[in-house]
Chains A and B, each alone.
Chain A
Amino acid sequence: MVALTDPSLNDPTPNDQAAPTRAMIEQAAAWRVQLADADCTDTDRAGFESWMCLDPAHRIAFDRMGRIEGQAMRQDRIGRTALTAMLSRRSRTLPLALIVGGTVLLSRLATHNPYVRSRLADERSGIGQIRPATLATGDHILLDSDSAADVDGSGRTVRLWRGGVMATVRPGQPHAFIIRTAQGSARALGTRFSVRISGDTTIVEVIESHVEACTTQSHAACLTLAPGQSACLDARGAHRLPDVDPFTAGAWSEGLLVADDRPLSGIIDELNRIIAPPPSIMRRRILRACTSPAPFP
């Protein structure tokens, strides 16, 4: 089922053979419908259990669908009314949008829309939450605050949609471990490294061992990074960033924010990422202006 030996790493569409097929998706839907039926029998439930065990992709399809269903099920009456209005307004405004949008095929965008994908991802963490996950292969990933990632059935490819992830990968496994983003991929054989999406760029930092960082572009560029090295992947290619201190790079995974001669703006950005300020603070009025005690040089 797994075929990640090395198809071209630079292929922007991953060779995701573990992805549930259409038939599996339809079966998952049928099971979800049947299990929610008041008439569901023990025989049905036993049938469902054995279907789930038949293929790891069955569970992926079933769980992903559960998250979509969950999003619908947790709507209160306000959400329900708003949703109905949005849907009817969409169908009314669609012709207008199409005139404005010319040949833009709006619905096709949804599948690859990182926003939609990140809200339905397999692994998600809230703001201020660091979430560990153990993969089928026994490797560990740690999701940083406000992050979302999908893990394929083989447990060897992680698709990061939002935020950051640190991977601790056991050495000596037959297939490379890969983290992909819209901008590129980071591939390792036994190592500890982190990948973070920041706007339109992806930042790869290596803590232990070596990682190969490649862009998704057709003229793919790759860099091999050693511990303490860091790279940025963007539309222009793969670039080396200044070296990082491996301790500082991994500090977030220990719940630490390390500041050693860093500009305040960077620390504020990081705090904003990990703390959701209570609305009461955001509304508080500031009355006093302070000047910096040290004179500016």
Chain B
Amino acid sequence: MTGTASLDLDSIYRAHGGWLLAWLTGHARCRTRASDLAQETFCRLAEQPALQLEAHPRRYLATVARRLLIDDVRRRSSERCFLEAFALHMGTATPPAPDRIAEAVQELAALAELLDELPPRVRRAFLMSRVDGVAYAEIAADLGVSTSMVKQYVARALTHCYIVAHGCPD
């Protein structure tokens, strides 16, 4: 980084660091988390080739911080879901090591990302078929539709997941 850029970052930190921390504390409702996220925000900023925030420094800082906050909220929420599911099925057994939890949570979060926008019945048909291994006819009885409709639902879910993950040229 050039001397001018770090000088800029330094002055931005001095001028707006306190404001950003207060903004984040208000949104994250936890001072430790807020100061972690504030630090992360400035780290991201330091990676920028040219700081283009002279006009609206606070607006820019808030945009970066907001994105980090959303990621953080999602990650914590996913982790909570996993630990609750573990406790539900395994009782008081020792939970897996943190790296295993992180791995499982990442995989589940990627799946949730793919399935997120599907209509509830399509998603339900997909989960019953592919995760629970239930036959199409049984899913049809459960949802009160025909077997061929269930097959259409599952195909629709697969198509949707593919396009979210890999895109589609047309």
- Residues of A at the B interface (CB closer than 8 Å) are 16-17, 19-22, 25-26, 28-30, 32-34, 36-38, 61, 64-65, 68-69, 71-73, 75, 77-87, 89-91, 93, 97, 100-102, 104, 106-107, 110-113, 115-117, 119-120, 150, 200, 234-236, 276, 279, 282-283
Contact = CB atoms under 8 A, between A and B. Distances in A.
B11 interface: no
A86 to B, nearest CB: 4
B163 interface: yes
Given A25-B168, A101-B66, A119-B107, A32 B85 contact: no
A29 B70 contact: no
B22 interface: no
B143 interface: no
Contacts of A113: 113
Nearest to B113: A110
Interface in B95-130: 97, 99-100, 104-117, 123, 126-127, 129-130
A72 B78 contact: no
A111 B88 CA distance: 33
Contact of B127 (A80, A89, A200, A276): A80
Q: DSSP majority for the B interface?
A: helix
Contacts of B49: 234-236
Given A80-B127, A107-B117, A86 B108 contact: yes
A107 B164 contact: yes
Contacts of B133: 73
Nearest to A278: B97
Nearest to B118: A87
A237 B91 CA distance: 53
Contact of A82 (B81, B90, B99, B170): B81
Contact of A19 (B123, B155, B165, B169): B169
Contacts of B67: 101, 104
Contact of B162 (A68, A73, A117, A150): A68
Nearest to B77: A89
A117 B131 contact: no
A174 B160 CA distance: 36
A116 B162 contact: no
27 contacts: A22-B168, A29-B155, A33-B151, A33-B154, A33-B155, A38-B135, A65-B158, A68-B158, A69-B130, A72-B126, A72-B127, A75-B108, A75-B111, A79-B131, A80-B131, A81-B89, A82-B82, A82-B86, A83-B111, A85-B84, A89-B77, A90-B116, A97-B73, A101-B67, A111-B163, A111-B164, A235-B47
A34 B151 contact: yes
Given A73-B130, A81-B89, 19 more contacts: A28-B162, A29-B158, A29-B162, A33-B151, A73-B131, A79-B131, A80-B131, A82-B82, A87-B115, A97-B70, A97-B73, A100-B69, A101-B70, A106-B70, A110-B113, A111-B165, A113-B113, A120-B165, A279-B97
Interface of B: 27, 47-49, 63, 66-67, 69-70, 73-74, 77-78, 81-82, 84-86, 88-90, 97, 99-100, 104-117, 123, 126-127, 129-133, 135-136, 151, 154-156, 158-159, 161-170
A37 B111 contact: no
Nearest to A119: B110
Contacts of A32: 155, 158
Nearest to A34: B151
Contacts of A17: 169
A78 B155 contact: no
A33 B6 CA distance: 56
Nearest to A94: B116
Contact of A68 (B105, B129, B151, B161): B161
A117 B77 CA distance: 22
Contact of A93 (B73, B88, B161): B73
Contacts of A101: 66-67, 70
B82 to A, nearest CB: 4
Nearest to B114: A68
Q: Which of B27, B63, B166 has the most CB of A within 10 A?
A: B166
B107 A71 contact: yes
Nearest to A107: B117
B70 A100 contact: yes
